[in-house]
Every structure is written in structure tokens, then in C-alpha cells.
Amino acid sequence: MQRTIITDEAFLAVPSEPATEADAGIARDLLDTLAAHADACVGLAANMIGVAKRIIVFHDETTGRNMTMFNPVVTAKSGRYETEEGCLSLKGVRPTVRYERITVTYRTRRWREATATFDGFTAEIIQHEIDHCDGVLI
């Protein structure tokens, strides 16, 4: 089910709680909401739809598919650079620091632990969404 995008910065600034297997419905809603905003959005975190759980979805430009991560954690990063990003929840674009290549440990939709490495724009998207989980506003 498509959900409304939250713009309340006080809510978005609160770190999210760990997700559990019972949160699968939230991930489905995130994917539906991402699809509804595909013309202007490449990733979402659960707090952006009003749920303070560590769940992100994003468009993986390498595979061309949308991907879900529960409890993602960046475990390695390299290639620091400065950029500007926009966000559906915030007005305008803002400066931030990102890394060209990241390794992330997370749980899949089947609740299996996984580790994967991402580069380029997909890595930037994931970092942005994990920031949301951490209550960091760009």
C-alpha cells in the first residue's frame, strides 16, 4: 500500500529501532511507495513513511531492480567525496559526504543475513537511506 511521505524533521531526526521479521508488511509498503514516486525518488527509509524501523528500499542501478534491506549497516567504505542530495522528505538539495564504494551487512526479505558491496550511485542511495535510519538529515 502506498503511504504518505513524512516531512516532519523532528520525527525524521529520531534514530529508528531495529526491524524484526514481523515488519515485512512495512517493506511491502515501502516498495509500493517507491514505485509510486519512481519519477522523483530512488530510495526510501521506513521513517519516511512514518514507521521508525531500520528498513530501506532502493533502486539498484546495477540489476535494474528495487531491493529491500532490513537493519543495514555499512561495514566498509572507501573513496570519500562531497556531493549534494535531495530528498522527498526535505526541501531543496543539501551538501553531504559519501563514499564511492561501500560494503553493507543486512537481513534479506527472507530474513537471511547477507553482505554485499555496492559502488557509484547505488552506494550513494544506500548511504542516504541508512542516514535516515540513524536520524541523520542531510
Catalytic residues: 129
> How many residues would you count in the chain?
138
Q: Are 50 and 8 in contact (CB under 8 A)?
A: no
Beta-ladder partners of 114: 106
Element (H, E) at 79: strand 65-87
Cα 58 to Cα 26: distance, rounded to the nearest angstrom: 14
Q: Are 18 and 53 in contact (CB under 8 A)?
A: yes
Cα 120 to Cα 98: distance, rounded to the nearest angstrom: 10
The three three-digit cell numbers of residue 92, written as one number: 531543496
